[in-house]
Every structure is written in structure tokens, then in C-alpha cells.
Amino acid sequence: MPSIDLSLAELRRYVPSTEPPADLDAFWKRVVDEALSAPLDTELRASEARLARVSTFSVTFEGFGGGQVKGWYLRPEGEGPFPGVVSYHGYSGRGARPLELYTLAAQGIAVLSMDCRGQGGDSPGISTEAAFGGGWLVQGLEDPEHYYYRTVYGDAVRAAEVLCGFAEVDAERIAFTGVSQGGGLTLAAAALSPRARFAWADIPFLCDFPRAVEVATADPYPELPKLLRRRPDLHDQAFKTLSYFDAANLAPRISCPVVVTVSLWDDICPPSTIFGAFSRLEVDDRELVVQPFLGHTMAYETEERRLFTVLERLGVN
């Protein structure tokens, strides 16, 4: 598979065209204030998974704007306080299950995963003002107040509150991580949640939407042009709505150290979209890890580096 985007030299110079709406900060202040103030109503149920030195639970909490959000929680043995990690999953997937979270938990980290609404996990879906027959990317595009990812970003903020609400968790040592959609949610949560002390976002989705729909050849981004071919009247409003949720526009709000990975042969989350979002980061402690010959996947070496970096950043010996 050849490179599907700009050359590496061009990528390093690329500047995204997406612009934040004038009321971006006010919009997200309302969302975050609501996300932080509503009761979480967290429930834990012991899991049948038997993993050495770790207790496993299914978790349910009240989602942003109502409804239940499901996920999983792993707690190391001992009294703590333990550092914590919130894990976000890829598009159409489900929150990481106990075995997938075990590597972190076995190192002495309390780790929580979250099922995005209506996707491949157990969290029920949400209703939007319009159902266009596509995937979640295009649901509610007619109004940012009704857009699907407004709810999911709110849920992502609340998931961090759930984790920090456990007595055994050190709320001053919290990291966010995820791959693809999970990488995009990692950036969004780091921009919106007061809990983030470190973020590692792998090959993130939800970045630089105007560029993404021009370059990506594999879903989910092509859901948008497919819709707009049928509904050209929605074009301007669709991109206005997306501008509130674009990680490239939220990036300047991130204040914690952040690592972002990008694959140069990625036809799902094209590299220019990720370079564009990364270029908007203003925090000094940031790094872009480039995977030269990979598509929409992660190299073992990068995953290993992620683990050791998270341990180091959270002060785990």
C-alpha cells in the first residue's frame, strides 16, 4: 500500500484549515459544568474474571444528559492510593475488557474503560434530532447541541470523575489513553476534563474534519460526504457543528503532557489530520511518534513504549 497523503516533509509543514467557532469555550463550559455537577450514581458488580492480584468489576454510571454508561474497572490488590488510567475505545467497538486492561492493572494502576453509547458495547444508544442512515459520525449534525459526540465527550469527562471517585485512586495521577476513536476521545477528554495529568492518543480519529473528508478513503470519515451527496443543504451546518468537536480546535485547551502517534499509510485516519491536530497543541511537553510504514494499526514496539511511558508519567516504580 503506498502512502495515501502528503510527504513527511509536507506533513511537518501542514497547517489545518479548520477554525474554532467564536463560542467554542462557552459551549464547552456549559457541557463540562453539567458533566461535573450531575450525580454519577456509580455501581460496581464483581466480575467472574479471575486475574492474579487484581479485582475486576463491571461498572455502570449515569451518562451525560441521562442514560446509563457501561464499562469495566480493574483495581490492584492493596490499599492504594493507586494512579489511574481511563481507556477509550475505537469506532464501533466496545470498552476494553478485563484481560485487555490487565497489563496496566498488574502494574499497580486502577484502570477504567467506557463503552461509547450505542456502539459495540453495552451502553444504550441515544436519540438525536435527525437520523440520517449513516453511522455515529453524522448523527445530530444539524445542531451541535444535538450532535452525537456532544454526549460521548460528556461521558468521557464523567468517566474520569468515576475513576477519581474511588477511594483507592489517587486523583492527582490520572492518564487518558485510546486508539483511533479512542485516541480522539483521549484528546477531547484531555482538553475538557480537569483530571488529566498525562494523555497518550494513538492514531486519533476526530481530527481536522475538513481535511479528513478530502483524504480518507475508508470509513468512518466517508460517512460525511455520503450524507452530503444526499443532503447538500446540510453542508455548511455540518462543518460548523463538527468544528466544535474537532480535536484540532480543542488541542489548544490541553494543558497536560501529551504523546500522539500517527501512521503514514493510514487511510482511515490520514496522517495529515493528525499532524494538523498536533500542530495546534500549545503545551511544551508534547511528542509526535511517527510510524512510517503502517496503516491504521499499532506496532508492538509503540504499544510497549506506551506502557512504559504511562508507568513513568504516573510514577509507578
Strand partners, 202: 179
| Residue 130 scores a pLDDT above 60 | no
Based on the number of CB atoms within 10 Å of its own CB, is 170 exposed (0-12), middle (13-18) or buried (19 or more)? middle
Over 80: is that where the pLDDT of 52 sits? Answer: yes
> What pLDDT score does 3 carry?
65
Residues 167-184 pLDDT 10s: 999 999 999 999 999 999
**How far, in Å, CA of 243 to CA of 95, rounded?**
26
This prediction has a pTM of 0.97
> CA nearest 181: which of 152, 142, 151, 158?
152
Distance of CA 59 to the CA centre of its chain: 19
Predicted confidence (pLDDT) per residue in 200-237, tens digit: 999 999 999 999 999 999 999 999 999 999 999 999 99
User: With 60 as the cut, is the pLDDT of residue 185 above it?
Assistant: yes
When pLDDT is cut at 50, 70 and 90, the band that residue 79 belongs to is confident
Cis amide prior to 81 (ω within 30 degrees): yes
Q: Which domains does the chain have, with CATH numbers?
A: 8-313 (3.40.50.1820)
Catalytic positions, please?
180, 266, 296
**pLDDT over 60 (residue 238):** yes
Tens of pLDDT, residue by residue over 88-114, are: 999 999 999 999 999 999 999 999 999
pLDDT (0 to 100) of residue 309: 98
Question: Alpha carbon of 245 to those of 24, 70, 205, 241, 249: distances in Å?
Answer: 9, 23, 11, 7, 7
